[in-house]
Each structure stands twice: as structure tokens, then as C-alpha cells.
């Protein structure tokens, strides 16, 4: 019998440990903070409350997992967009890298301005000049070749002010939010005015967002059978879709095919996406990142040339949307330096 | 002690049952057929072998789950496309339904031909006539209104030959294949020449494919704030993207952003998608559904006006792609009648 008693007591001990363990697990789940880089303020409470409501099975505001679509702008919402959109910094770097093959650029604008780092001249060329630069650096090659160029740039180029890789200038609180939402059955999408082929090579590794969940602006692409008999997709210079402003709800409709229940932006280019998301039935979470932190990042809104936040700020105030003050709502802005080692 | 012994023996019994149950589960998993509607032929063996190779962790041909992208044409590959594409049957039904609001259609072509069911006249108008009919029936309303119209039609309209709801004319072997692939970590996509907004209202329920995994042709959509102050997306008549032929790899690049490792089509409109998929590195599964079964479905290929299979059949033979003979490879074609009750 002693073996039995022994076995029993071992079982009893294991059961007791198991129960204690379970209890500790529950206690830890209840007390651990899914958003540690967010200050305990109104926005964080509102976020956690929203997720609890839409995931409460049987609750009045329950949303089935398949419909838990979350849409995030990229520039200024998931990563920094100053002093210029990072894709533009990439394009300028490409002009420099390609300048040996293009000696005519030394005397031809807007390329001359890039090569001479003449910001004032560049600004004067406006959007037309920038589009010319993008066309010259983003087209005339296969989609795979372009993807490789982007991957190499993102792993090596460094931001002028922070002297860190661009991809390490993502917002730690937003990374936590993406993870938190996915852990609660959400499907997270990027809906950005940036180029779709510029984002896809790295969004999965940096944000956990796969290529098929990236919506963005795009140029035409052409299918052809190459001289080697292999099919290829060639990037052309003509723009095909601009995923900005009213283009964002159009892009959401085209790529996702259903309305998000959560949307995050930071500028007037996000206004229509937020309006479209807010107008759906049932619980909604609408938010703007307000850049209020000149010390740790940047402070800008109504007067900024990049990422202007004016009309969308008025609308957010009028409708009671969430406004995230970077200075007050975020304990941390960027991941710690060591965390970006993998990118180099 | 007897209580203890009793308790122990109950535990022992439960444990024994549990172990037996596990064993049975494993045995059943090993012997149960994931593709019961497929005949035990070369194609089925090749399919199961392919899935085993790409999912064998540590194997030479292992593909991480995120890259297990499977692309399926819809018309003629996942459901019937004869005697006309079902979307065209829908458009003709819409012309009839809207004819009271459009008395001028009684004398105006190509609408007159639809109202008089004059197939010969319709054929003479060709693609231009069909596009006019599609524009008149698919545009000038909100995306949500259109989705509702499609949902009602798909639940009620019946196929002229089979007298069954159109959505019940999906191929049972392909439904099994989609389920089998998803069970093995694949993400299944539709890549169809059909209208994206015509498919999305029902693909999730019928195929288990959510709207964001449907790639198709589309017309322009415009964002506007309605008179009631609510944002809306209005469908316009201009085509925006034709996801057919060389448009299919372009659509895959635009919507999915990575190359599939498995692709299934049935006509020349799928050729470039199959070429693009086949040209990737690593294990690939490329297949055509060949309509060889006039009795249970239809028999057609090189001479057919709908779903012509000519060049792609030559290429499949030349390259050794899988050719599924509907007559020989499929034990069942459609789901049993009772299975479509939910659609009515």
C-alpha cells in the first residue's frame, strides 16, 4: 500500500502545484501590462476597454475575429516621418548611388539639387520634382531587384538626427499595440500613402505585418517574359494608385474589402480613413498620434510641411476621437538601441 | 483505503481510455483521407506529396507557413462557368430587374437583347456589349448596396441546367483541397478575372476565403461625404483593373506581394499566373482543371468561347504541370444537394 500512498501523495502534490500554478498564471495575466510603454492615461484605458468589449463573447459589442480589422497609417503613426519621409531619404540615397551611371544629373534638376543637398531648391520643385526623383529611382527594374535594394538600404542607412537605422525608429508603444491586438484576434493592416513595394520587404520583420496586409501607393507593374524565357514583373514609372486622403478608404475597400473597426493615423492624409472607419456600425476605436515631443522625437501639427495635422485634429476634437500625445501618453518612444541589432 | 483504491482505479480507467482515445485519434489521422472526392490517381498523389514536402520541418523543401501562398482561379476552377460566367447571369438578371426603371432598354442594345433573351445578338455585341451591361448594373451605387444585391442574388438565383443555386455549383474536390491546404498552414487566395466586389460577399461562407484574400477585376470607386453627412464609397463605371491573363501576376504582386507556391487554373486566362508561380525557387505545385465531363458538368477546352483552354494546355503538357481530368480525377463534382440549404 505504501507505494499507492506514495503515488497518491505525489499526485496530490502535483495537483496542488498545478492549482497554485494556475492561480499564479491567472493572477499574472490579470496584472501583467500588455502595453507597458503607454502611460496609464485616458487613451490606454480606452484602448484596453475597447478590446475587452469587442472580444467579450456574448457581450453586446462582440465582434467575430474575422471582422476584427485594424488599420494603421505608417509614416508618423508607426515610425518617424521627419525631417523627410524615409522613402524620400531612400530615393535621395538612390540618386547619389546612381549618379555615376547618370553624369547628366550633375546639371539636371531636380537631381542636381539632391546631389548638392540643396534643400531649398528641392522644396521649390515641390511634388512634381519629388515624383520625378521617385520615378527615376523606383522604376525600370524587376520587383525582385527593387525589393533587394530596399532591404539593403533599410539595413544600413542611418537617420541624420538619431544616427540609428531608420527601421529602428519605429514607435515602441505602437509595436506593443500591434502585438496586443493580434493576441486578441485582430488582423493588423498598414494603410499608408507610402509605396507598397518600399514597405513590404521589411514590415513582416519589423511590425509582424505580412506583405499581403500592407496597403499603399503603387506604380504600374508589367508582366513580361524575359530574354532568358523567365517571366518577370517590371516596375514602371507611371503611378497607378495613390493611397492617401480619400484614396485610403478606397484602398481599404480594394485591398481588404471590409471596414476596419480600429484605425490609427497622425495627419490630414488619414482623415478620410478615420471617417470611413468611424462611420461603421458597432464599437469603434479611432485615434490620432499627436507629435508633441520635440525632445524625444518631434513636435509639429498644423504648420508642418511633412505630416500636417490640421483638419483631422479639428475633427478628432469635434467627434471625441482619441488623441495620443506622444509626450504624455508614451513612456518610451523608440525601442532600446540593442533591439535593432538584427537590422544591421 | 477503499475510497482511495476506488479513486485510483477510476483514474487508471480514465487514463487508459485517454490513451486508447489518443491512439485512435492518431490512427484515424493517419488513415483518414483528406481528399475523399479525389480519385486515387497521379494528381492526388502529387498533391499530397507536395504538401508533405513543403510542411516537413527540417526537410530540404520546407516552406515556412507565412510563405505557403496558394492561388486559385475562380470561374471554372472553383465553380462552374458554363453556359456563361455566373457574374454575367447576375448582370442579365439585374437588367431584367431594373428594366421597369429603364423603359428605354426595350429598344436600346445591348439591353434589348438581354430582355428578349437573344443570345445570338448578345454574342454579336461581344466584349464591348458585355462591358456596357456590367457598367449599367454594377455602378452608380454604394459598395454596400451592391454587396447586398449580390448576396440576395446568390441566395436565390438558380442555374438553368442544374436548377440549383449558383453557389452550390462549387467543386466539392476543390473545397476539400482548400480545407486541406489551410489545415497545413497555407493561406488560400482567389485570383480571378471576375469582379472583386461580386465575389467578396460570399467567398468566406462558401470557400472559407475572407474578402481580404480575394483578388479580382475592379472598377473605380470614389469616396465622398453623402448628403446625410455620412462617408460613402460609390462604384463608378470605369474599369480600374483587369485581373486576367498577364493581369493575374500583376494582381498577385499588388494584392499579395509574394509569389504563390501553388496555383490552380483552368483556362488560357490563367497561363501567366501559372508561369509566374512556376518560375519561383523551391517546390511548386501547378495545375489545370480540364473540363472533360459532359455528363456531370461540361466538356470543353480549345474551342470554347467561355474558359478557352488552349495555350495553357500546351504549356502544361510541355512543362509537366498537373492536369486534373474532371471525369477521371473527381469522384464527386458538386456537394450533395442538402449541403446548399444554408444558401437559400
Residue of chain A with shortest Cα separation from B9: A4
Nearest CA in chain B to A277: B231
Q: Which residues in chain A have their CB less than 8 angstroms from residue B225's CB?
A: 275
Looking at CA atoms only, how far is residue B343 from chain A in angstroms?
20
Percent of chain B with pLDDT over 90: 82
- Rounded CA-CA distance B265/A316 in Å is 47
pLDDT of A119 above 60 = yes
| pLDDT tens string A38-95 | 999 999 999 999 999 999 999 999 999 999 999 999 999 999 999 999 999 999 999 9
Verify whether the Cβ–Cβ distance A210 to B8 is below 8 Å: no
Higher pLDDT, A129 or B151: B151
* Residues in chain B within 8 Å Cβ distance of A212: 69, 187, 189, 212-213, 255-258
pTM for the whole structure: 0.89
Which residues in chain B are closer than 8 Å to A218, comparing Cβ atoms?
Answer: 254
Q: Region B1-7: what's the mean pLDDT? A: 47
- For residue A7, pLDDT beyond 60: no
Q: Cβ of B239 under 8 Å from any chain A Cβ?
A: no
DSSP state of B228: T
Q: What pLDDT shows up at residue A147?
A: 97
Cβ–Cβ of B214/A257 closer than 8 Å? Answer: yes
Contact with chain B for residue A68, Cβ under 8 A: no
> Per the CB < 8 Å rule, is B258 touching A143?
no
How large is the ipTM? 0.88
E-assigned strand segments in B90-230: 187-195, 214-225
Residue of A nearest to B217 (CA): A254
Residues listed for chain B:
344
Nearest CA in chain B to A228: B279
**Which triple of cell numbers denotes residue B231?**
462617408
Contacts of B279 in chain A (CB under 8 A): 230-231
The answer to whether A80 touches A297, Cβ cutoff 8 Å, is yes
In the sheet with B231-241, reading across from the earlier edge strand, the strands are B231-241, B214-225, B187-195, B69-72, B262-265, B285-290, B322-325
> By CA distance, what is B195's nearest residue in A?
A254
Pairing of strands A322-325, A285-292: parallel
Instruction: pLDDT band for A28, please (50, 70, 90 cuts).
Output: very low
Alpha helices in B1-118 (DSSP H): 2-31, 42-55, 86-98, 111-115
Out of B66, B200, B258, whose CB is closest to A257?
A: B200
Phi, psi of A307 (to 5 degrees): 65, 40
Kindly state the average pLDDT of the residues B34-62: 97
Is 80 exceeded by the pLDDT of residue A232?
yes
* Residue B42 pLDDT exceeds 70: yes
* Helix or strand (DSSP H, E) at B237: strand B231-241
Give CA–CA dist A68/A77, Å, rounded: 20
Interface mutation target, options A3, A208, A231, A272, chain B, most CBs of B under 10 Å? A231
Q: Cβ neighbours of residue B260 under 8 Å, at least 6 residues apart? A: B69, B70, B71, B189, B252, B277, B280
* Cα(B288)–Cα(B164) distance, integer angstroms: 25
Amino acid at each position: 500500500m505504501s507505494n499507492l500512498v506514495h503515488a497518491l501523495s505525489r499526485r496530490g502534490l502535483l495537483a496542488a502545484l498545478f492549482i497554485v500554478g494556475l492561480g499564479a498564471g491567472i493572477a499574472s495575466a490579470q496584472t501583467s501590462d500588455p502595453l507597458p510603454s503607454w502611460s496609464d492615461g485616458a487613451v490606454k484605458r480606452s484602448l484596453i476597454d475597447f478590446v475587452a468589449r469587442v472580444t467579450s463573447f456574448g457581450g453586446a459589442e462582440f465582434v467575430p475575429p474575422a471582422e476584427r480589422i485594424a488599420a494603421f497609417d505608417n509614416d508618423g503613426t508607426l515610425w518617424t516621418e521627419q525631417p523627410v519621409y524615409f522613402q524620400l531619404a531612400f530615393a535621395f540615397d538612390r540618386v547619389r548611388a546612381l549618379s555615376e551611371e547618370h553624369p547628366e544629373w550633375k546639371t539636371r534638376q531636380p537631381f542636381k539639387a539632391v546631389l548638392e543637398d540643396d534643400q531649398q531648391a528641392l522644396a521649390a520643385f515641390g511634388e512634381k520634382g519629388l515624383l520625378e526623383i521617385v520615378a527615376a529611382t523606383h522604376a525600370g527594374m524587376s520587383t525582385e531587384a527593387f525589393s533587394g535594394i530596399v532591404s539593403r538600404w533599410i539595413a544600413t542607412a542611418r537617420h541624420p538626427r538619431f544616427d540609428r537605422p531608420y527601421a529602428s525608429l519605429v514607435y515602441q508603444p505602437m509595436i506593443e499595440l500591434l502585438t496586443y491586438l493580434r493576441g486578441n484576434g485582430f488582423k493588423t493592416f498598414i494603410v499608408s500613402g507610402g509605396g507598397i513595394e518600399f514597405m513590404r520587404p521589411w514590415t513582416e520583420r519589423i511590425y509582424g505585418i505580412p506583405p499581403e496586409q500592407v496597403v499603399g501607393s503603387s506604380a504600374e507593374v508589367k508582366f513580361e517574359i524575359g530574354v532568358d524565357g523567365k517571366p518577370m514583373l517590371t516596375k514602371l514609372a507611371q503611378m497607378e494608385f495613390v493611397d492617401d486622403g480619400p484614396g485610403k478608404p478606397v484602398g481599404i475597400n480594394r485591398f481588404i474589402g471590409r471596414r476596419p473597426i480600429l484605425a490609427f493615423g497622425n495627419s490630414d492624409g488619414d482623415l478620410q480613413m478615420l471617417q470611413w472607419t468611424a462611420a461603421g456600425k458597432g464599437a469603434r476605436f479611432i485615434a490620432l498620434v499627436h507629435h508633441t515631443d520635440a525632445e524625444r522625437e518631434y513636435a509639429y501639427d498644423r504648420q508642418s510641411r511633412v505630416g500636417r495635422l490640421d483638419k483631422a485634429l479639428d475633427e478628432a476634437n469635434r467627434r471625441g476621437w482619441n488623441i495620443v500625445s506622444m509626450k504624455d501618453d508614451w513612456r518610451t518612444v523608440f525601442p532600446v538601441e540593442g533591439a535593432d541589432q538584427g537590422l544591421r
